[in-house]
């Protein structure tokens, strides 16, 4: 009876929520009040995949769902980022029968890294993908070490772990376990011997605290590492990107499946690799996973092409309070080697809560923008002066900088002048403030 009541409450509130344009976490929240152990009570599909980590969750989940559906599987998943226990509850209660049975083949859950322990208190995933752990939302998450401890509480013996071998903190989840599935990138032409970044979270061994040595870096602290003291090192991988050719927009996984890249970023490659690995683990033929992820254009609005006046442009979603995501976007712009300008917008630090905390700007490696082919760097929004101060401590020449508090005014100037490619880099919280000024392709 309680199960039925919880489902009823959730569905009524979902309908009302849709009418008034409210989010998807509230109905689940009330359902949990009616029946706190509702997630345990539901009859769940035989395959339960969870995806967590700092970056790449939404994109990876979207691609996994696409592969599963293309292979005739039915799947229930949280489509739009509502990834705390309330949002997951809403999704599950709206996907089951009135009797509490989920009839889909697969339950696929994007789970917030701090809240995953609350969701999986009630049931365990059969497969658990952990993508990466970076400094992210400092005011909420504190340090990645703390997030590691939070995720650790959701890792159980009866779950198969799929871990990113290239990220030392993530690989720590596999310590002492035999059944881990590892994925990662082989050494490739885009790696560097030298570390680049404003800080180095892989400088010391996460196990014993002694210095770590890197043979090469894919980016930031992600690469081929080994502790100089205790033997902790990158694991050999079960799923590897064996070839990367960003110029030709292609990768090869495990030496056999070629995948074309709709978007030539290292991030995208990791998300595809995780998708490939999990799909193979649950019995989808690898060539099918390769087929669907090939030229896959994400629907979640993380990469958008646009025009502004005479400028063609690429909008790269990053995350405020997440320096690695900015590093990756700037690196992408720098690697294209074409004449360009970069627009950086920090106007509302978070869309979920108020904070004016900007220390994370000091963690971003703005030096990517010192390249000669980056013509100008527009610093826009409420925190334009914080950006300008930060950039004054970088190697980006100050005469490249244009500071605009008013985002519309910056766009107006760009509309009137120039025709170089634009890269616009900002967070979800500020994205429409820019996109409302441009023509999206």
232 near Zn ion (CB under 5 A):
yes
How far apart CA 266 and CA 1 sit, in angstroms, is: 49
Q: Residue 367: which of 195, 204, 134 has the closest Cα? A: 195
Query: Contact 173/150 with Cβ under 8 angstroms?
Result: no
Query: Contact 210/203 with Cβ under 8 angstroms?
Result: no
How far apart CA 3 and CA 212 sit, in angstroms, is: 51
Query: Contact 57/65 with Cβ under 8 angstroms?
Result: no
Query: Contact 241/252 with Cβ under 8 angstroms?
Result: yes
User: 79 or 226: whose CB is closer to Zn ion?
Assistant: 226
User: 232 or 368: whose CB is closer to Zn ion?
Assistant: 232
Q: How far is the CB of 441 from Zn ion (least distance, A)?
A: 48
Query: Contact 280/315 with Cβ under 8 angstroms?
Result: no
Place of tokens 């994205």: 431
User: 170 or 346: whose CB is closer to Zn ion?
Assistant: 170
Q: How far is the CB of 52 from Zn ion (least distance, A)?
A: 25
203 near Zn ion (CB under 5 A):
no
Q: How far is the CB of 157 from Zn ion (least distance, A)?
A: 24
The 10 Å CB-count burial string (b at 16+, else e) for 156-190 is eeebbbbbbbbbbbbbbbbeeeeebbbbbbeebeb
Q: How far is the CB of 152 from Zn ion (least distance, A)?
A: 18
Query: Could you tell me which residues come within 8 angstroms of residue 241 by beta carbon, excluding any fewer than 6 positions away?
Result: 184, 185, 186, 188, 251, 252, 253, 269, 273
Q: How far is the CB of 217 from Zn ion (least distance, A)?
A: 18
User: 27 or 202: whose CB is closer to Zn ion?
Assistant: 202
- End-to-end CA, the chain: 50
Selected binder of Zn ion within 208, 409, 432, 440 (CB under 5 A): 208
Q: How far is the CB of 210 from Zn ion (least distance, A)?
A: 5
Q: How far is the CB of 207 from Zn ion (least distance, A)?
A: 4
CA angle 266, 56, 172 (to 5 degrees): 90
How far apart CA 142 and CA 270 sit, in angstroms, is: 25
Interface with Zn ion by CB under 5 A: which range of 94-102, 149-157, 229-237, 325-333? 229-237
Q: CA-based Rg of the chain, rounded to a whole angstrom?
A: 22
230 near Zn ion (CB under 5 A):
yes
Query: Contact 316/86 with Cβ under 8 angstroms?
Result: no
Place of tokens 């909008």: 315
Q: Going residue by residue from 154 to 193, which x/- string records binding to Zn ion, judged by CB under 5 A?
A: ----------------------------------------
Q: Going residue by residue from 365 to 404, which x/- string records binding to Zn ion, judged by CB under 5 A?
A: ----------------------------------------
Selected binder of Zn ion within 8, 138, 142, 207 (CB under 5 A): 207
**Number of residues forming the site for Zn ion (CB under 5 A):** 8
227 near Zn ion (CB under 5 A):
yes
Interface with Zn ion by CB under 5 A: which range of 88-96, 194-202, 208-216, 309-317? 208-216
Interface with Zn ion by CB under 5 A: which range of 44-52, 199-207, 235-243, 382-390? 199-207
Q: How far is the CB of 231 from Zn ion (least distance, A)?
A: 7
Query: Could you tell me which residues come within 8 angstroms of residue 414 by beta carbon, excluding any fewer than 6 positions away?
Result: 308, 309, 311, 341, 343, 378, 422
Selected binder of Zn ion within 92, 198, 205, 349 (CB under 5 A): 205
User: 229 or 440: whose CB is closer to Zn ion?
Assistant: 229
Enumerate residues 264-283 that contact Zn ion by CB under 5 A.
Answer: none
Query: Contact 300/62 with Cβ under 8 angstroms?
Result: yes
226 near Zn ion (CB under 5 A):
no
Interface with Zn ion by CB under 5 A: which range of 141-149, 202-210, 295-303, 312-320? 202-210
Q: How far is the CB of 143 from Zn ion (least distance, A)?
A: 19
State the residues that interact with Zn ion by CB under 5 A. 205, 207-208, 210, 227, 229-230, 232
């Amino acid at each position: 009876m309680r199960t039925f009541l919880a489902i009823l409450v959730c569905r009524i509130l979902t309908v009302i929520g849709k009418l008034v344009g409210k989010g998807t976490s509230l109905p689940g929240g009330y359902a949990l009040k009616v029946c706190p152990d509702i997630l345990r009570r539901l009859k769940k599909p035989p395959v339960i995949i969870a995806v967590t980590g700092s970056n790449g969750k939404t994109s990876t989940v979207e691609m996994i769902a696409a592969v599963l559906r293309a292979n005739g599987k039915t799947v229930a998943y949280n489509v739009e980022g509502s990834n705390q226990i309330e949002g997951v509850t809403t999704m599950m209660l709206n996907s089951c029968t009135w009797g509490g049975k989920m009839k889909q083949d697969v339950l696929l859950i994007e789970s917030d890294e701090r809240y995953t322990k609350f969701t999986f208190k009630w049931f365990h995933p059969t497969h658990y993908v952990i993508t990466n752990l970076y400094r992210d939302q400092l005011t909420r998450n504190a340090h990645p070490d703390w997030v590691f401890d939070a995720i650790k509480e959701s890792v159980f013996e009866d779950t198969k772990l799929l871990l990113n071998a290239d990220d030392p903190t993530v690989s720590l989840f596999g310590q002492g376990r035999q059944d881990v599935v590892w994925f990662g990138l082989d050494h490739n032409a885009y790696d560097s011997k030298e570390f680049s970044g404003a800080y180095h979270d892989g400088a010391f061994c996460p196990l014993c605290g002694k210095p770590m040595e890197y043979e090469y870096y894919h980016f930031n602290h992600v690469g081929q590492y080994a502790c100089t003291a205790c033997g902790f090192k990158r694991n050999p991988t079960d799923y590897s990107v064996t070839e990367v050719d960003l110029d030709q927009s292609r990768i090869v996984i495990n030496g056999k499946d070629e995948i074309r890249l709709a978007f030539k970023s290292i991030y995208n490659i990791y998300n595809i690799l995780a998708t490939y690995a999990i799909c193979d683990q649950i019995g989808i033929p690898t060539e099918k996973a390769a087929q669907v992820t090939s030229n896959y254009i994400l629907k979640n609005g993380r990469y958008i092409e646009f025009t502004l006046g005479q400028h063609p442009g690429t909008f790269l979603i990053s995350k405020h309070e997440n320096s690695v995501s900015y590093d990756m976007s700037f690196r992408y712009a720098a690697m294209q080697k074409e004449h360009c300008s970069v627009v950086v917008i920090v106007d509302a630090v978070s869309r979920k809560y108020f904070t004016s905390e900007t220390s994370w700007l000091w963690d971003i490696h703005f030096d990517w923008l010192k390249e000669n082919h980056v013509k100008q760097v527009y610093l826009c929004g409420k925190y334009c002066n914080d950006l300008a101060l930060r950039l004054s401590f970088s190697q980006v020449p100050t005469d490249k900088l244009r500071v605009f508090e008013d985002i519309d005014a910056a766009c107006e100037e760009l509309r009137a002048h120039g025709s170089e490619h634009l890269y616009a880099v900002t967070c979800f919280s500020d994205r429409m403030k820019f996109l409302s000024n441009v023509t999206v392709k």
